[in-house]
Structure 1
């Protein structure tokens, strides 16, 4: 192989490496750990308690780039305090009347179909099951840590399903401005069964 060919291969190698690093920086990297035993990160949830839904909500399958897990999401018409605000149909009645059309959300210049698994009814019991801590980094946002409370559905057609509670919850920052966002039940959506009076006091706060 002559010198020109070797130089060309070397330049191609450098170009491939640069493109690889650029893609890595764009996509970023993340990893999750189980922090279920860290009571402080459970926020307003007590993993020893059971909770029930005060309102029927959707079960939505998150986008693959968000993990593809199941998320509990209220009707979009429900006035939220501070949640993640996953997209959902305006009302459950609208969805029941026309599931296909109600699952399509129109945005500026494009539409998106919401992957709705079903409706989980008011009164359904949920048991906190696992707490995940995800740490990640990418070029656009830098470093970030998120906490995700997960619960198992007790009873009904979704018995045993593991669901994300973030969008039926209010988020707030642990340890002032230094800690990650953690969650507590949101009024009108979810509350505890073990000590209803104490739990209601928690969910009556939006800040």
Structure 2
């Protein structure tokens, strides 16, 4: 016969397996705390911004065509920023103890649509190094672009700053710990229901009524041995 479970049965399962549920949930929570607060290395992010804008030698306003050209150049510049010719100079200037490929992986270039501003973002476990790399990339790119593109239209808009109270962007320990807690609770409840569903032993007369769908006529009390 198929077994049916009502809301009352669900609460009974939770009550019966409460210690199991709490043990697994607490264990997952403690594991989340240990991993997120003590084992995962914090990662910091710093960002420098450059502006792609043709320098105006006279007082005339920039023409629309020049503006469109600058915007189109940003896509090319995003590629050049992470090119070996730029990163190798950054590597040399900072005397980095990493390969240029590793350096490239730490850098991300962002540019909003129809914007002349390019953001150079760097992630590293060392907050000071992240800001140094971002600023150096911006300076080297500005210095090299005239010889690469035969045009001088890059201005450093904002330098990356490293404040003493800078917070890491990852991990997010409180959020991650909450997720592991909820995950542990979900798994433990599923396990409790699974164990209850697989338990086919008859413990009281109500179990017989549910399984056989027949009323219990009488109960035989246990007899003591003489």
The structure having more radius of gyration, on CA atoms, is 2
TM-score of the alignment, normalized to the shorter chain, above 0.5: no
More helix by share: 2
Q: Which has the higher contact order (CA 8 A, sep 6+)?
A: 2
Q: If the length of structure 2 is used for normalisation, what is the TM-score?
A: 0.25
More strand by share: 1
